[in-house]
Amino acid sequence: MGEALQDLHTDVGLASSSAEARISAAAWRESPGGQLAGDLASETFVSEVAFAALARTLLESLDGGASGTRLLASVFPHVFGSPLFGWYEPAPAIRSELLQLSQAAKGFGYEPVELIGWLYQFTVPDPVRRRFGGFYTPQSLVEFMLDRVGFGGAPCTTTRLIDPACGAGAFLIGAARRMLEAAGPESAEACRLLQRSLHGLDINPMGILLAEATIGALMLRRLVGDPLPADLPPLHLYVTDSLERDALEAVERAEVTAIKRAEGTWSAGFDVVIANPPYGKHPSRLLSEVQRERFSATTFGHPNLYGLFLQVGLELLGDGGRLSFINPKSFASGLYFRKLRRFITERLTIEELDSFTSRSGLFDGVLQEVVILSGVRTVAGGSDSITLSEHAGPPSRRPARRIVVDRASVQLGDAFDRAFFISADPLAHRLLDAMCERGTPLAQLGVRASTGTIVWNRERSLIGDGPAESGRPLVWGNGIRAFRFLGLGNRRGAATHVRLTERTRGLLVRGDALLVKRMTAKEERRRLVACRVPTDLAHTGYFAENHVNVLRPDEDAQIGLDALLGLLNSSLFDYVFRALNANTQVSATELEMLPIALGPPLEEIGRLARQLSSEAFDEELWRALDLAVADLYGITEADCALLMPVFPVAA
């Protein structure tokens, strides 16, 4: 098998010096592959051309000559007519080797559809597939999400589905399998159903080609020697940027633009919108003026690609339509996604939120906590509850926890930054309800949070290892422990001071304050870690590095810093924040929205915090603090007993 693939690559490499190939390569450099450079770019171009030739050969072999090359090319234009990949035609000897390869693979048990994926893995370089997401969304996840939107059985044959970031077409292929299963024995009509119902958009030409080849293999296998219907139009698969309302390819422009703008045949929107969109920041400078205006409803600061695609998906969804999207968990809280969360709740009745306890294992080579958002677009009404599931493994297994809670317990209001409280832990919901019932957001009590302004990479020329040249101390996050400040300097004990200049003088912080670590992961013993600013630093002034949050009281603040310090370092606050926060950052806005209760127990909490700050670690003191905090919020004895053993009390 390896020899056949090697011969194919060698032949494509030799052919790539032709004038036609050079024109194709120039156009290819405008595609995502054009981001590559040097030998990797050349190797990838040759590999993708080779894979396209493999796909054509396979579809022709499945068709067995029943339809003819011209009809195959009209139904599968990206496989047979792509201007990027269609210029190469294997010589008869190479073609014969590819047919033998196909037969040999089938002899090893590969079905035609699986064979395409198998060939792709061996044709396109692994680093390139990883960079451009050239891996299938796991089959278990595809089936799970199709179930979430109710795509199955006889109803799916009349359902219009779109994936606006389809990549290699995992959801489209899964949907095609279900449609063919439900379509009945009429093969020609089944092919028409796929063409009418399935829609996929992606900016990567190779992804669209792979999706088309795989669905084409499903269709041809269903026909078992019968020709394709002569009147069958191409599948609704388009090489286009879903974030633009116009198509990239002129021949498809009118149709794909109508789809994106919900015009003509698509004016009612789609019954199902489903996607695993790309993740990653998308600098605002890369957005056009039209895009900036369009996405202003959901973005704050530098947008993230998945947020942009989620807005697109919601815009494509018709009334009564169902949506299921995979998102990084970070969308559920924090300032940057507040507008997106508002947009979601205005357009979608959320029905289910599925979270995963591990940051790895769900996607190959990806370290990312994700949440599956599923819901229905309703004009009015809808259920008053949301189902929350927490999975310890693939979604094909029974969830580790599953609860149904009131919608208001998940979609927190403006006072809480419109965060989504997606924990499937019933204790966390009871605790947050108790805190909200008695508490007021910290910002309304006269305490303001800010993030440190010294960014190491930007200010390194002004940062030194001592106070020379009128330097002032620099506080790093690694110096902060619960109730303890360990000292200046980074992890190596260096970079302890920042030189005072006309520009940095305005960044100097003075006065009493609390320091809170800004970066803490779920795997750490504590998510909230706070201490007092040492008296000498408060007096002389200091700089806060960007991984530090500073909490400073106004003159009329309604809570003392010692009492606030005790609350932040308590088991109650850590437990609820751990369930509420959706990323590794403790943001200033999240600190300001914490519900702070006022009452007599605050005096005892402040006293205990002072003791814990000045004495050696004492587990009994810390446990007394936790009990005082529970008393402040009216936490029941039963819930308090559940709460306190969860985390070690030590810093």
Which domains, ranges and CATH numbers included, belong to the chain? 443-643 (3.90.220.10)
pLDDT in tens, 204-249: 898 899 999 999 999 998 888 788 999 999 999 999 999 987 655 4
Residues in the chain: 651
pTM of the model: 0.89
Q: What angle do CA 604, 609, 610 make, to 5 degrees?
A: 100
Q: Tell me the CA distances in angstroms from 361 to 143, 201, 239, 311, one per residue in order.
A: 17, 27, 30, 27
- Non-local (6+) Cβ contacts of 603 within 8 A are 563
Residue 366 has pLDDT above 70, yes or no: no
Report the range of poorest mean pLDDT among 145-149, 171-175, 276-280, 468-472: 468-472
Residue 646 has pLDDT above 70, yes or no: no
If you average pLDDT over every residue of the chain, what do you get? Answer: 87
Closest CA to 282 of 264, 308, 245: 308
- Non-local (6+) Cβ contacts of 142 within 8 A are 136, 170, 171, 173, 174
pLDDT in tens, 177-189: 999 999 988 888 9
Helix (H) or strand (E) holding 30: none
Helix (H) or strand (E) holding 265: none
Whole-number pLDDT of residue 211? 93
Rounded distance, CA 170 to CA 138, Å?
A: 8
pLDDT in tens, 401-445: 999 999 999 998 887 888 899 999 999 999 999 999 999 999 999
Whole-number pLDDT of residue 5? 77
The amino acid at 190: A
Residue 122 has pLDDT above 70, yes or no: no
Rounded distance, CA 61 to CA 220, Å?
A: 10
Residue 631 has pLDDT above 90, yes or no: yes
Whole-number pLDDT of residue 380? 66
- Tokens standing for 435? 């805190």
Rounded distance, CA 527 to CA 623, Å?
A: 18
Rounded distance, CA 338 to CA 594, Å?
A: 16
Q: How many CA atoms lie within 13 A of 478 on its CB side?
A: 9
- Non-local (6+) Cβ contacts of 39 within 8 A are none
| Confidence grade of residue 596 (pLDDT, cut at 50, 70, 90) | very high
- Tokens standing for 49? 């051309």
Cβ pair 4, 97 in contact under 8 A: yes
- Non-local (6+) Cβ contacts of 535 within 8 A are none
Arithmetic mean of pLDDT, 604-631: 91
Residue 47 has pLDDT above 80, yes or no: yes
* Direct distance between the N- and C-terminal alpha carbons of the chain, in angstroms, rounded to an integer: 58
Residue corresponding to tokens 């700050």: 613
pLDDT in tens, 502-547: 889 989 999 999 999 999 987 888 999 999 999 999 999 999 999 9
pLDDT in tens, 476-500: 999 999 999 999 988 888 899 999 9
Question: How would you class 426 by CB atoms within 10 Å of its CB: exposed for 0-12, middle for 13-18, buried for 19 or more?
Answer: middle
Q: Which residues pair with 350 in a beta bridge?
A: 375
pLDDT in tens, 458-471: 888 899 888 777 78
